[in-house]
Chain A
Amino acid sequence: MDRRALFFLGAAAVSAALYPATDTQHRWVCLALAVVYTVLAVGSALDAWSRQRRHPARPGPRARKGQEAGSGSS
Chain B
Amino acid sequence: MLKHLLASAISLGLCTTALADTLQVPLIWLRHAEAERPVLSNLDPIPEDRGQAGAELGLSDNLTTGKFLGQDYSLEVIEIPPEADPLPDARAALARSPYMVLDAPAETLLAIADLPEAQGAMLFNAAASDMALRGENCRANLLHTKTSYAMQTDALMQFARAKRWEDLVLITGNAPEDAAYAAALTASAAKFGLTIAETKPWIFDADMRRNAAQEVPLFTQDLADHDLLLIADVANDFARYIAYNTWTPRPIAGSEGLRPVSWAPVVEQWGAAQLHSRFQDLAGRDMTPRDYAAWAAVRAVGEAVTRTQSADPTTIRDYLLSDNFELAGFKGRPLSFRTWNGQMRQPIPLVTRAALVAQAPLEGFLHQRTELDTLGLDAPESPCTAFQ
* A and B together in one complex: no
Spell out A's residues near B (CB within 8 Å): none
Spell out B's residues near A (CB within 8 Å): none
